[in-house]
A and B are shown apart, each in its own frame.
Chain A
Amino acid sequence: GQQLNQSPQSMFIQEGEDVSMNCTSSSIFNTWLWYKQDPGEGPVLLIALYKAGELTSNGRLTAQFGITRKDSFLNISASIPSDVGIYFCAGLENNDMRFGAGTRLTVKP
């Protein structure tokens, strides 16, 4: 099936640093979603993007829907320890949703 390529796989950063991760696909999507998963819990929706070129923020998080509709980016500014977790991208097209493999973020105090 169609796969999303999410990178990087993992990141180790210092508290206060900014973080960037991205997701690319060989096919287009109408919707891009970013989730965060804490240990032992299900993914929680962070940001939803519905339009090519859209830039949306949620607090310190900013995500963009790529112009080509084949990619999306998530930025976290001024990271804090509670940002630790796994971040997943997901693309949705005609009720078919595909997920990236996740970016594991570690924040060192």
Chain B
Amino acid sequence: DAGITQSPRHKVTETGTPVTLRCHQTENHRYMYWYRQDPGHGLRLIHYSYGVKDTDKGEVSDGYSVSRSKTEDFLLTLESATSSQTSVYFCAISELTSARETQYFGPGTRLLVL
């Protein structure tokens, strides 16, 4: 298994509160990603990082921010959580080698916003 951990694994919070999810990797991979997974949808990309301090938006980035100050950590922050952000969040890592890229996923964080 790829060395990816996510914390917390479960969280319940109230609307309007800030929430930070952490993804930690031990593989020294360059690329890290945050996805959300909702019923009836595939995984949807929120933000990704292609190096320390280098991040970019995905297809559902509104309401989320990210930071990557170290290779091994990628933080996802909900500045003011809303009920629509109730979801399961997955972190993924990859190392692009030539044209071949595969992503390895963490175990997920289940977030409930009341």
Chain A residues within 8 Å of B, Cβ to Cβ: 1, 3-4, 6, 30-31, 33, 35, 40-45, 48, 50, 88, 90, 92, 95, 97-102
Contacts and interface: CB of A to CB of B under 8 A. Distances in A.
Contact of A98 (B4, B42, B99, B103): B42
B45 A44 contact: no
Given A50-B99, A88-B42, A100-B42, 4 more contacts: A43-B105, A88-B43, A95-B96, A97-B45
A2 to B, nearest CB: 9
Interface of B: 4, 40-45, 59, 90, 92, 96, 99-108
Nearest to B96: A95
Nearest to B98: A50
Nearest to A30: B99
Contacts of A98: 42
A41 B99 contact: no
